Amino acid sequence: MSTTFQRLMAVRKGKQCGFWVLLDPDKKSSQVLARYAKTMEAAGVDGFLIGSSIMVSASFERAVKAVKKAVRVPLIIFPNGSGMLSKTADAVLFTSLISGRNPNLLIDEQVKAAPAIKALGLETIPTGYILIESGNLTSVCYISNTMPIPRNKPEIVKAHALAAEYLGMKLVYLEAGSGASMPVPAETVRQVVKYVTLPIIVGGGISDPSYARKIALAGASFIVVGNALENDSTGAMAKSFAQAIHFNGIKD
Ligand code: 1GP
């Protein structure tokens, strides 16, 4: 049986760029979230991240279970800290916030989470998480108490991504922050993709399919969309995103 990471890499190989949707259990009930995920999957989504930067919902496990039952594509935990875990998910993005200098999110939360992850038997996908300035103060910067990398300094982003590669991480996540007014610049994505061999995830503030396509053409391996699809009850908008992102054609 293949690992979740292998499944992700198969999508990358077949479609060049995969389309992920962020599920926020703080914004929808478990049932509504599961129905939404099903609609998104039917529209062409390749995987889901589940998490939020301020988890106020006590029903994380319930949400993960409901979504897992509703979809077949990978469901990956996108944690805000060591407490956001579930054995029902397919994997956890084991992130280190490498653009920040907050030891708590560089290593402390990871140490706290590691024994629990082992006990749950959950697959980890080590990911270098890099915040890029996006025009406004995002929840993730505020909550993590870290500064994002200036958006006009791709060389700093490149150095961080390369450090992630040399540290043995498997993915790099370029994040503008959920609801960012300016997404990660396509030029930054292009430069990072050229500079490192790791697959690159890009998310935050991607609100229209044409921008998603630019990011895909810049060489991103996965694009994450959250806010822009939250009211897409029919999946029509998600379909447009899927077409834009899967520019290489769908080869399942
Ligand atoms: C999470 O950044 C994504 O990385 C989601 O962002 O909600 O702005 O699409 P949006």
Confidence band, pLDDT 50/70/90 cuts, at residue 59: confident
Chain-wide mean pLDDT for the chain? 95
Answer yes or no: is the C-beta of 183 below 6 A from any ligand 1 atom. no
SS3 at position 41: helix
What is residue 55's predicted lDDT score, i.e. its pLDDT?
Answer: 64
Q: CA 151, CA 8: separation in Å to the nearest integer?
A: 28
Strand partners, 11: none
Query: Residue 82 pLDDT > 90, yes or no?
Result: no
User: Full-prediction pTM beyond 0.75?
Assistant: yes
Structural domain boundaries of the chain? 4-245
Least confident of 27-36, 56-65, 101-110, 238-247: 56-65
Work out which ligand 1 atom sits closest to the CA atom of 225: 9
Both tokens of 55, joined, read 């988890």
13, 227 in Cβ contact below 8 A? no
> Hey, what's the torsion of the CAs at 171, 188, 50, 94, to 10 degrees?
30
Answer yes or no: is the C-beta of 182 below 6 A from any ligand 1 atom. no
Mean pLDDT within 68-82: 95
Answer yes or no: is the C-beta of 205 below 6 A from any ligand 1 atom. yes
What pLDDT digit, counting tens, does each position of 156-185 carry?
999 999 999 999 999 999 999 999 999 999
Answer yes or no: is the C-beta of 225 below 6 A from any ligand 1 atom. yes
Closest-CA residue to 49 (of 76, 67, 27) = 76
Count, residues in the chain? 252
Pick the CATH number of 4-245 from 3.20.20.390, 3.40.50.360, 3.40.50.10140, 3.30.450.20: 3.20.20.390
Both tokens of 128, joined, read 């270098």
Spatial CB neighbours of 138, under 8 Å, sequence gap ≥ 6: 131, 148, 176, 177, 178, 179, 180, 204
Query: Residue 251 pLDDT > 50, yes or no?
Result: no
Query: Residue 250 pLDDT > 60, yes or no?
Result: no
Strand partners, 54: none
